[in-house]
Amino acid sequence: NAGVTQTPKFRILKIGQSMTLQCTQDMNHNYMYWYRQDPGMGLKLIYYSVGAGITDKGEVPNGYNVSRSTTEDFPLRLELAAPSQTSVYFCASSEPGTGGNQPQHFGDGTRLSIL
């Protein structure tokens, strides 16, 4: 069981470039999330999705876009990379559960540097 798979694991971008961080889960989870983790900090929610075709903004959505065309995939798009987007990005998924007590399952993260 692969769980949550993120690609790539590392990437260096130049300012102004675009890229897509891929996230796939094989657990048939409805809920998916994108977080960023800056050095010495906790996780900040960028976007989340409660099902295919439904996405919503988190705490720090500026500079990012997402789509959710299938239950399995939840890609994160950076359109114009900026140095402030240098971070480690985590994708997570969870089942709705009973009232939300289900934990999140995380991918291994993508370390992104913008130079």
Partner 1 sequence: AQTVTQSQPEMSVQEAETVTLSCTYDTSESDYYLFWYKQPPSRQMILVIRQEAYKQQNATENRFSVNFQKAAKSFSLKISDSQLGDAAMYFCAYRSATSGTYKYIFGTGTRLKVLA
Give the nearest distance from C-beta 19 to partner 1 in angstroms.
19
Binding region for partner 1 (CB under 8 A)? 31, 33, 35, 40-43, 45, 48, 50, 58, 88, 90, 92, 99-101, 103-104, 106-109
Whole-angstrom distance, CA of residue 74 vs CA of residue 103: 18
Give the nearest distance from C-beta 80 to partner 1 in angstroms.
26
Give the nearest distance from C-beta 108 to partner 1 in angstroms.
5
The candidate with the shortest Cα–Cα distance to 2, out of 84, 105, 71, is 105
Whole-angstrom distance, CA of residue 90 vs CA of residue 37: 8
